[in-house]
Amino acid sequence: MAKKKLTFEESIERLEEIVEKLEQEEVSLDEAVAFYKEGLALSGFCKEKLAVAEGEILLLRKEAGLWQEEPFQSEEQEI
């Protein structure tokens, strides 16, 4: 049986489940490594989906004339 492709929201939910299991349950080393591996894959998927969504939003803003390029400022620089 092929694995069902998860949505972004389902992936986030699964990541939360993995974190909870690792924090609250006694898991074997093999289970912990498997959870970690799954978490990395889910994290990469979510990061990719967010990047695509951000690109689409930026394109829409440019097309609507709402784009203003601003220099990046980290939270530390905003004092």
Residue 21 has a CB neighbour count (10 Å cut-off) of: 14
**What is the residue-wise DSSP string for the chain?**
-PPPPPPHHHHHHHHHHHHHHHHHS---HHHHHHHHHHHHHHHHHHHHHHHHHHHHHHHHHHHTT---------GGG--
Backbone φ, ψ for residue 51 (5° rounding): -65, -40
For residue 5, the model assigns a pLDDT of 87
- The one-digit pLDDT tens for each residue of the chain (79 residues) are 456 789 999 999 999 999 999 998 789 999 999 999 999 999 999 999 999 999 998 888 888 887 666 666 767 655 5
Claim: this prediction has a pTM higher than 0.95: no
